[in-house]
């Protein structure tokens, strides 16, 4: 009989319709690859050379205000611009391009240079969640914006150019590729089952109780059955909420509490600041009702076996099929153990 903890197998991701190859037996192979230097050096509360700290100068001579909590500004090096022409270029249906307009903003979580979500209070994180919801509503209300992506890259390994606690908001004129995949799957499931895919999924995971890491009254963090990254987690509301703006006061407090605990767990995995990419997927802002959408966040951390060994998608994973060695159940067990400390 197939043993999911021993035999190679593939798992279907119902959010994207794509498969991931799982090879549990490969966790015993020796590692002689490259290692990364530790990034556990301490930071000062204020850095006069940091362009995100209060009162400091940014690119082009703009000076930050003496902000005391959160701070939002238009990205000085925005990947998207609101005045980009929405024209299409098509050569023989082979060379196709479309103008993509949008906005990019930066949200500083705190004036403190030395903080991360993991060492901010839940109350401070709740203030950040409020700003996330406000930015989603404000940018999504613009006629040309159809999707608002809120994401954080933490650590040099994940491409963060500055250790100051911050995230980015990219508002786009089209729904991006990954949310678009999920939208197709969520809509198809709703049409065939007359229920929400993620409502059913979180209910099933709570019944099985194999991959849940942390939960509170209204939110749960779990390692998804189809996880690709070594310690990937999915943050889900237990109730059907489509976007950050719809969260009640109690739900925002619960989400803040869960994010605080989850990021601290990540730091315990290898006893140092843990790199990851995190982002929220929520209802598009194209004017549709989108009853199929269920707010959730993905955490993608690359560390594999120690604080210095990383694992990005390469080789077979890029050319053929995503693959992982540590089973989601084993990863969840380790994270859950650290969460109980």
Residue 166 a catalytic site member: yes
Q: Which residues of 295-306 are buried (b: 16+ CB within 10 A; e: fewer)?
A: bbbbbbbbbbee
**Torsion sign (Cα): 283, 285, 289, 290:** negative
Q: Which alpha helices (DSSP H) does the chain contain, by range?
A: 122-140, 177-193, 197-208, 249-269, 316-319, 328-339
User: Is 15 in contact with 181 (CB distance < 8 Å)?
Assistant: yes
**Torsion sign (Cα): 11, 16, 18, 21:** negative
**Torsion sign (Cα): 136, 14, 330, 30:** negative
Structure tokens at 225: 């059955």
First and final C-alpha spacing in the chain? 36
User: Is 111 in contact with 145 (CB distance < 8 Å)?
Assistant: no
Q: Which alpha helices (DSSP H) does 1-159 contain, by range?
A: 122-140
Radius of gyration of the chain (CA): 20
Catalytic residue among 7, 25, 91, 166: 166
Residues designated catalytic: 166
């Amino acid at each position: 009989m197939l043993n999911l903890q021993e035999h190679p197998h593939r798992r279907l991701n119902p959010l994207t319709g794509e498969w991931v190859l799982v090879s549990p037996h490969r966790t015993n192979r020796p590692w002689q690859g490259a290692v990364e230097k530790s990034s556990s050096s301490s930071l000062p509360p204020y850095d006069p050379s940091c362009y995100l700290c209060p009162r400091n100068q940014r690119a082009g001579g703009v000076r930050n205000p003496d902000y005391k909590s959160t701070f939002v500004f238009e990205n000085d090096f925005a990947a998207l611009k609101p005045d980009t022409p929405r024209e299409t270029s098509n050569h023989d249906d082979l060379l196709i391009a479309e103008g993509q307009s949008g906005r990019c903003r930066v949200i500083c979580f705190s004036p403190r240079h030395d903080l991360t979500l993991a060492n901010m209070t839940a109350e401070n994180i709740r203030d950040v969640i409020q700003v996330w919801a406000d930015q989603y509503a404000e940018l999504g209300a613009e006629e040309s914006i159809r999707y608002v992506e809120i994401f954080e890259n933490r650590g040099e390994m994940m491409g963060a150019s500055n250790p100051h606690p911050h995230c980015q908001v990219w508002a786009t004129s089209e729904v991006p590729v990954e949310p678009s995949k999920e939208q197709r799957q969520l809509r198809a499931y709703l049409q065939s089952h007359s229920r929400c895919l993620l409502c059913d999924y979180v209910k099933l995971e709570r019944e099985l109780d194999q991959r849940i890491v942390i939960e509170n009254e209204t939110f749960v963090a779990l390692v998804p059955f189809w996880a690709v990254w070594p310690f990937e987690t999915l943050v889900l509301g237990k109730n059907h909420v489509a976007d950050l703006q719809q969260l009640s006061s109690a739900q925002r407090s619960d989400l803040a509490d869960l994010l605080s605990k989850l990021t601290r767990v990540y730091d315990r995995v290898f006893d140092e600041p843990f790199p990851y990419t995190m982002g929220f997927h929520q209802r598009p802002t194209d004017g549709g009702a989108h009853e199929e959408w269920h707010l959730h966040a993905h955490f993608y951390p690359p560390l594999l076996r120690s604080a210095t060994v990383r694992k990005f998608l390469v080789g077979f994973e890029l050319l053929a099929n995503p693959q992982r060695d540590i089973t989601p159940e084993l990863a969840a067990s380790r994270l859950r153990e650290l969460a109980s400390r």
